[in-house]
Amino acid sequence: MPVIAAFFGIIVRMFYDDHNPPHIHLEFSKGWGEN
């Protein structure tokens, strides 16, 4: 899914294909280099 923004270890992704309405997910990483 497209990444809308990434800042301070938070990634904002747009999800539009799985169900309506389109929505965003926020991913957070606590450590350096952690996936």
pLDDT by residue for the chain (35 residues), tens only, comes to 788 888 888 889 998 888 889 898 898 876 555 44
Tokens 């450590």 -> residue: 31
Residue 35 has a pLDDT of 45
Residue 8 has a pLDDT of 86
Residue 31 has a pLDDT of 57
CB of 14 closer than 8 Å to CB of 29:
no
pTM of the model: 0.63
Residue 4 has a pLDDT of 87
What are the structure tokens assigned to 21, written together? 């309405």
DSSP the chain: --EEEEETTEEEEEE-SSSSSPEEEEEE--STT--
